[in-house]
Amino acid sequence: MVKKGSKAVKVIAYIIIIFIAAFLVYSYFAYKHSLGEGENFIVCDNTNNCIVALHMHSEVEIKVCSEEIKLPLEAGDKTATHTHKERNLLHFEERLRYDNATQTILETEPITLKTFFNYQDVNIIFNSTCIADKCNGDLCNGNLGTLKFSVNEMPNNEFESYVWKDGDKINIIFE
């Protein structure tokens, strides 16, 4: 004998399960979407002195003679470019002086690659001719190697002076 109330309880239970599942799916995608967006905003005073509050991420691939170099975790100056728990992902979350008229950041040193690579926790040599322990002309897989630097698949000659931006895909390759 089936009780009339047990069907209603089952229907309510299924509805609750569907709502919980829908909420979890929505939460997952909302969280994933929020990771890809910078959270930048500009604040100016009445004399037009401005700051930009930046929250940026950039992927970095470093290969030396076909071997991948991993950036250290939780390394770098927390008021400049640094890493967190994600491998080879640069992170910056701080305020910098900003010119609202020209829409340019005035204080770029904290977001240069030089500042990050020279920080004591990172301490990887990187300049226009060297990465890690290899410099242009050194042997690499039996050949004379050269350093190549690109941003978003476009060759770039700024190397350590490069001021990285949110969403950049930086490649440093010695081959």
- Is this prediction's pTM over 0.75? no
Q: Summarize pLDDT for 80-96 with one digit per residue, the tens.
A: 889 988 889 999 999 99
CA–CA–CA angle 139, 148, 167 (5° rounding): 140
Most confident of 103-107, 116-120, 148-152: 148-152
For the stretch 36-41, contacts whose Cβ atoms lie closer than 8 Å and that sit 24 or more positions apart, written own/partner, are 36/167, 38/166, 38/167, 40/166
- One-letter identity of residue 90: L
What is the distance between the alpha carbons of residues 80 and 122, in angstroms, rounded to a whole number? 13
The b-or-e profile of 97-121 (16+ CB within 10 A means b, else e) is ebeeeeeebeeeebbbbbbbbbbee
Q: Summarize pLDDT for 153-162 with one digit per residue, the tens.
A: 999 999 999 9
Backbone angles phi, psi at 66, to 5 degrees: 70, 0
Is pLDDT above 90 for 128? yes
Is pLDDT above 80 for 120? no
pLDDT at 80: 87
pLDDT at 15: 86
Most confident of 40-54, 107-121, 153-167: 153-167
Q: Tell me the pLDDT band of 30, cut-offs 50, 70 and 90.
A: low
Residue 154 β-bridge partners: 151
Q: What is the mean pLDDT of residues 121-144?
A: 94
What is the DSSP code string of 20-58?
HHHHHHHHHHHHHHHHTS---EEEE-TT--EEEEEEEEE
What is the distance between the alpha carbons of residues 104 and 143, in angstroms, rounded to a whole number? 42
Token pair, residue 97, equals 């002086």
Look over the chain and give the mean of its residue pLDDT values, rounded to a whole number. 86
pLDDT at 36: 43
pLDDT at 109: 93
Q: Summarize pLDDT for 96-111 with one digit per residue, the tens.
A: 999 988 889 999 999 9
Mapped onto helix, strand or coil, the DSSP state of residue 4 is helix
